[in-house]
Structure 1
Amino acid sequence: MEITLTIDGKQIPFKSNGAVAKRYMMQFQRDLLKDILSMGATNKGFEEMEEGEKVSWMRENIDFNMFYDIAWTFAKTADNTIQDPLSWLESFDEFPILDIIEPLQSLLEKTIASKKK
């Protein structure tokens, strides 16, 4: 699955495939699934939360450094020519992480979802 988001006026592709978890482990020496699960579960879907609930839940549950790493991994999977994580982030004047968390959620779901019913 691939999506494109506009960040700082640039069209940035993000992609999920079978290599995402391995790329994340190779770059950050952490397990992607464990990091995703460490963000905690909620009784409501993110899209069902009120804006204040979203901000409160994110503040309590999301390690934003980890989410920058996840975003970079999806971007690197879509475009193998991008630089290391810090150089990539420095290429943006603005990187509104709160604006991209929700759109990237679908990629996270595809990465960890099971096809079993």
Structure 2
Amino acid sequence: MTIRIFLLVLLSVTISAVAQVALKRGMSGPIVQRALDGSELVPKLIAVGMSPMVFLGLALYAVGAVVWLLVLAKIDVSQAYPFVGIGFLITLGFGVLLLGETVTLARIIGIAFVSVGIVVLSRS
């Protein structure tokens, strides 16, 4: 894998992690939360669809998918896909930094296992 392809993988995974944060922010907003408390489906869908952060998250997923397609055009999916696990690390970091989430020992252990797995798979 060339450095260019690795950087494209990292870009795609990072975009997806940012998309997760945007979706979380959008779904946690007061308008969406009030709509989700109701029983009617249509107001829920409208509130979610009208949330700028939800829209941003979905748009970022689309951009990340395009970058991922560029990766898959250059290397085997079995070589590229293990690096998606890096997204766990990035998302955890963004969750802590941007959303104030806490890091538990179980999460640290899980991330360590994922990291070791990525290294093992990337070297094979």
TM superposition score normalised by structure 2: 0.30
Task: Report which structure shows greater RCO (CA 8 Å, sep ≥6).
Answer: 1
TM superposition score normalised by structure 1: 0.32
Name the larger-Rg structure: 2
Name whichever structure is richer in strand by fraction. 1
